[in-house]
Amino acid sequence: MADPIQLWQWIGDGLASGASVTLLIVVDSSGSSPGKIGAKMAVTENGMIGTIGGGAVENGLIESVRESMVKGVTEPKIHSRTHHASETGTSSGMICGGEQTVLVYPCRIQDLPLFEQLAECCRLRTPRRLVVSRRGLRLIDAEASVFSAHFEPGADWLYQEVIGRRKCAYIIGGGHVSLMLSKVLDLLDFDSVVIDERDGIDAMQSNGVAWKKMIIPYAEIDQAVPEGPEVFIIIMTHSHRTDAQVLAKLAAKNVPYLGLLGSRKKIASIKEALSGQVPEQTLQRLHAPIGLPIKSHTPAEIAISIAAELIQFTNSCHEPLTTQ
């Protein structure tokens, strides 16, 4: 998936140069269809950025979009495809199964300021609601909520999506695993905030991917980590003692995911030590040992196992958490 800032800037630059640019957005998806809801790409006569899942559907739509450019078509359209090789009509010819609906929006020169605003709100992490209809694009204020997208089909179809908000992983501990995890999560549309109480850690200083880096005492960690449906807490400090200290401070946070790195023996020891301080039901929601069991050993392997668990977790959550 293209970086959203790059996508919006690319579209704006294309329009400013006089090129014909078409935006494609996956507005609905089911089954094993490639491309998640909200996946985007933009196409010009001789270039493109992003992806809506690849394969036959994407290639076919790119060809269709470029033919429409030659014909001067400016009307937004909705394309629905069923992915079965044996079917005809709206079948894509792919065998993955499922359905995919793609909004094809020929961009207009009057949209240029809006694309500049979209790039800016993504850069500043300021949520705005993008609304797309037959009448065009518009941006309206959005509450600071979890990413959401909604498509209303029909003759007067409407698509809305919250732009400028990404999931945020608060990684407590600035060591080598933290560095590798920041790199992997950046590819998965997570912002990383790395926190450590030690100053001068090489791995933390060399971390150029993290959105933010903070040096604060772990005794004050609860003041630095917010609550909310997009906050994912991952504890990987330098010792059992500080792991337990941080967990005790953050265990009651209203977040969808709280994980702790370590062996089963270490996790059991920390839980036992905190049994009198932290309610049992709170400790039960802890993901520990964090990461899928892939026999990981190196920092990169451990980071990938953690990222894989986060993918599994977020993709299995059908209802966003509501803050209280």
- Per-residue pLDDT of 176-215, as tens digits, reads 999 999 999 998 889 999 999 999 999 999 999 999 999 9
What does the block give as tokens for 14?
């294309």
Rounded Cα distance, 50 and 102, in Å? 14
Mean pLDDT of 25-46: 84
Average pLDDT, rounded, for the chain: 88
- Which alpha helices (H) appear in 145-219, and where do they start and end? 176-187, 202-205
DSSP 118-132: HHHHHHHT--EEEEE
Mean pLDDT of 109-135: 93
pLDDT at res. 32 = 54
pLDDT at res. 126 = 87
- Per-residue pLDDT of 139-186, as tens digits, reads 998 765 555 789 999 999 999 999 987 889 999 999 999 999 999 999
- Per-residue pLDDT of 290-316, as tens digits, reads 999 999 999 999 999 999 999 999 888
Rounded Cα distance, 167 and 190, in Å? 5
Percent of the chain exceeding pLDDT 70 equals 89
pLDDT at res. 2 = 64
pLDDT at res. 138 = 94
Q: Please name each of the domains of the chain with its CATH number.
A: 4-127 (no CATH), 167-316 (3.40.50.720)
pLDDT at res. 278 = 87
Per-position b or e across 78-111, b if 16+ CB within 10 A of its CB: bbebbbbeeeeeeebebebebbbbbbbbbbeeeb
pLDDT at res. 34 = 59
Percent of the chain exceeding pLDDT 90 equals 71
Mean pLDDT of 131-138: 94
pLDDT at res. 31 = 57
Residue 247 has pLDDT above 90, yes or no: yes
pLDDT at res. 171 = 98
Q: Which residues pair with 210 in a beta bridge?
A: none
Determine whether 323 is exposed, middle or buried from the number of CB atoms within 10 Å of its CB (0-12, 13-18, 19+).
middle
Mean pLDDT of 217-235: 94
What does the block give as tokens for 49?
């950025």
pLDDT at res. 146 = 53
Mean pLDDT of 47-63: 91
pLDDT at res. 280 = 85
- Which alpha helices (H) appear in 166-214, and where do they start and end? 176-187, 202-205
319 band by pLDDT with thresholds 50, 70 and 90: very low
> Whats the size of the chain, residue-wise?
324
